[in-house]
Amino acid sequence: MILDVQKFITERRPDWEEFEAMLRHLEDDSRKYRFDVGEVRRFHYLYERIAADLTKLSAYAVEPQTRSYLESLVARGFGEMHGNGRRLPLVRSLINLVTAFPQAVRRHFAVFLMVLAIFGTGMVFGGLALALDETAKPVLMPFPHLLGDPSERVAEEEATAADADPMEGSKSTFSAFLMTHNTKVAIFTLALGMTFGIGTGILLFYNGVMIGAVMMDYVLAGESVFLAGWLLPHGSVEIPAILLAGQGGLLLGRTLLFARGRKSMGQRLLEIRGDLVVLTAGVAALLIWAGIVESFMSQYHEPILPYAVKISFGALQLTGLIAYLGLAGRGGENSVRET
Partner 1 sequence: MKTSRYNNLVVQTPEGVQFTNQLASPVSRCIALAVDIAIIWTVMSLVGTLVALMQWVSYDFAMAFYTLLYFVFNIGYFILLEMLWRGQTIGKRMMRLRVQDMHGLKLQPAQLVLRNLLRFVDSLPVLYFLGGAFAVLSKRSQRLGDLAAGTVVVRLPELALPVLNELSKNHFNSFREHPRLEALLRQRVPPEEAELALQSLRRRDEIDPIARTRLFRELAAHLRERVKFPEEITASMSDEQYVRNCVDSIYRAAK
Residue among 65, 135, 262, 336 that touches partner 1 (CB under 8 A): 65
Q: With respect to partner 1, which residue has the nearer C-beta, 73 or 213? A: 73
By CB under 8 A, is residue 335 in contact with partner 1?
A: no
Number of chain residues interacting with partner 1 (CB under 8 A): 69
By CB under 8 A, is residue 188 in contact with partner 1?
A: yes
Compute the least distance from the CB of residue 49 to partner 1, in Å.
11
Compute the least distance from the CB of residue 164 to partner 1, in Å.
15
Compute the least distance from the CB of residue 320 to partner 1, in Å.
25
Contacts by residues 310-314 (CB-CB < 8 Å, ≥ 24 positions apart):
310/228, 310/229, 310/230, 310/232, 310/233, 311/225, 311/228, 311/229, 311/232, 313/232, 313/233, 314/228, 314/229, 314/231, 314/232, 314/233, 314/234, 314/235, 314/236
By CB under 8 A, is residue 317 in contact with partner 1?
A: no
Cβ atoms of 301 and 157 closer than 8 Å:
yes
Provide DSSP, 162-177: HHS-TTTTTHHHHHHH
By CB under 8 A, is residue 324 in contact with partner 1?
A: no
Residue among 25, 31, 64, 98 that touches partner 1 (CB under 8 A): 64
By CB under 8 A, is residue 236 in contact with partner 1?
A: no
Closest alpha carbon to 67 in 78, 77, 56, 76: 56
Residue among 22, 74, 161, 227 that touches partner 1 (CB under 8 A): 74
Q: With respect to partner 1, which residue has the nearer C-beta, 217 or 275? A: 275
Cβ atoms of 103 and 332 closer than 8 Å:
yes
Residue among 40, 94, 149, 180 that touches partner 1 (CB under 8 A): 180
By CB under 8 A, is residue 29 in contact with partner 1?
A: yes
| CA angle (113, 241, 107) in 5-degree steps | 45
Rounded to whole angstroms, how far apart are CA atoms 303 and 296?
15
Closest alpha carbon to 212 in 296, 154, 204: 204
Cβ atoms of 213 and 233 closer than 8 Å:
no
Q: Give residue 67's identity as a one-letter amino acid code.
A: R
Terminal C-alpha separation, the chain:
50
Residue among 21, 36, 84, 163 that touches partner 1 (CB under 8 A): 84
Rounded to whole angstroms, how far apart are CA atoms 73 and 57?
14
By CB under 8 A, is residue 106 in contact with partner 1?
A: no
Provide DSSP, 256-276: HH--TTT--HHHHHHHHHHHH
Q: Which stretch binds partner 1 (CB under 8 A): 31-39, 74-82, 150-158, 236-244?
A: 74-82
Q: With respect to partner 1, which residue has the nearer C-beta, 4 or 36? A: 4
CA 165 to chain CA centroid, nearest Å: 35
Q: Which of residues 205-234 bind partner 1 (CB under 8 A)?
A: none
Q: With respect to partner 1, which residue has the nearer C-beta, 120 or 274? A: 274
By CB under 8 A, is residue 135 in contact with partner 1?
A: no
Torsion of CA 67, 70, 76, 81, to 10 degrees: -120
Rounded to whole angstroms, how far apart are CA atoms 58 and 51?
10
By CB under 8 A, is residue 34 in contact with partner 1?
A: no
By CB under 8 A, is residue 257 in contact with partner 1?
A: no
By CB under 8 A, is residue 192 in contact with partner 1?
A: yes
> Which spans of this chain sit near partner 1 (rule: CB under 8 A)?
2, 4-6, 9-10, 13, 16-17, 20, 27, 29, 48, 51, 54-55, 58, 62-66, 68-69, 71-72, 74-75, 78-80, 82-85, 87-88, 93, 169-173, 175-177, 179-180, 183-184, 187-188, 190-192, 194-195, 199, 252, 266, 269-270, 273-274, 276-277, 280, 338-339
